């Protein structure tokens, strides 16, 4: 069986994000072959009810955006809109990840802890740190991408130019 089909089977079975490295181990093939296989799978899934998501070194299957209305009816979920501050913090995380909470406070000029906590609780941001001594950094969660209906962070609106601008500003002012 082709690697893309095997990956599809693994992702369907696990139903949660799987590190690409793990796929390589399971299939016993290299990183670039995994990426090729993922590209094939992504193309084959075009127009289908499920789509491939690729974020932060992990891949998973999720439903296509076109199925959203019917699934929303199925789930009957209605989520409260995010506050203005939470949206700003979310944008900082989405476009400048990884960021620390100090970076976020500096950019907004105010303490952003409660907005940050709101995002963590709703699973829109992911918190991690390299070691006990390091400070936490925040990155978008794969759930955030799902909420936005995109498959990878680079599909965020205006991602490339905005990221470049923000990185430039950051080195000049932080």
Partner 1 sequence: MVNQDFRIKHGSFEGPLDLLLSLVEKRKMHISDLSLAAITDDYVHFLSANPIPIGQTAEFIFLAATLMLIKSRSLLPGFSITKEEEADIAVLEGRLAHYQAIKGAAAMLSLELAKPRRFFRRPSAPLPKEASFRPGTDGASLAKALHAAITRTTSLMPTREKIPQTRVEKKIRLEEVMQSLLLRAKESLGTTLRGFTGSGKAETILGFLALLELVKQGTIKVSQNDHFSDITIESLSLGVPAYL
51 scored as a contact of partner 1 (CB under 8 A): yes
With CB under 8 A as the contact rule, the residue among 91, 101, 137, 152 that binds partner 1 is 91
With CB under 8 A as the contact rule, the residue among 46, 130, 131, 173 that binds partner 1 is 173
Longest dimension (CA), the chain: 55
Phi, then psi, of 63 in degrees rounded to 5: -75, 155
For partner 1, the closer of residues 32 and 76 by Cβ is 76
Residue 61 in 3-state DSSP?
A: strand
Q: Scanning the structure block, which residue is given the tokens 């084959």?
A: 44
19: enclosing H helix or E strand? strand 18-19
Within 13 Å of residue 31, how many CA atoms lie on the same side as its CB?
4
For partner 1, the closer of residues 24 and 149 by Cβ is 149
141 scored as a contact of partner 1 (CB under 8 A): no
Residue 70 in 3-state DSSP?
A: helix
Using CB under 8 A, list all residues that contact partner 1.
12, 14-16, 51, 53, 60-69, 71-72, 75, 82, 84-85, 87-88, 90-92, 94-95, 106-115, 117, 121, 143, 145-150, 156-158, 162, 165-166, 169-170, 172-173
């Amino acid at each position: 069986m082709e690697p893309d089909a095997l990956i599809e089977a693994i992702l369907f079975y696990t139903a949660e994000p799987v590190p690409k490295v793990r796929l390589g181990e399971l299939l016993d093939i290299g990183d670039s072959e995994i990426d090729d296989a993922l590209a094939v799978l992504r193309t084959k899934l075009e127009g289908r009810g499920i789509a491939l998501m690729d974020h932060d070194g992990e891949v998973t299957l999720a439903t296509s955006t076109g199925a959203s209305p019917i699934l929303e009816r199925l789930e009957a979920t209605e989520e409260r809109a995010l506050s203005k501050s939470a949206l700003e913090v979310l944008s900082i995380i989405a476009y400048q990840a990884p960021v620390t909470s100090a970076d976020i406070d500096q950019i907004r000029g105010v303490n952003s802890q409660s907005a940050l906590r709101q995002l963590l609780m709703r699973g829109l941001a992911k918190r991690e740190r390299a070691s006990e001594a390091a400070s936490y950094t925040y990155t978008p969660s794969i759930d955030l991408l799902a909420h936005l209906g995109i498959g990878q962070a680079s599909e965020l609106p205006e991602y490339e130019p905005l990221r470049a601008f923000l990185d430039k500003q950051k080195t000049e002012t932080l």
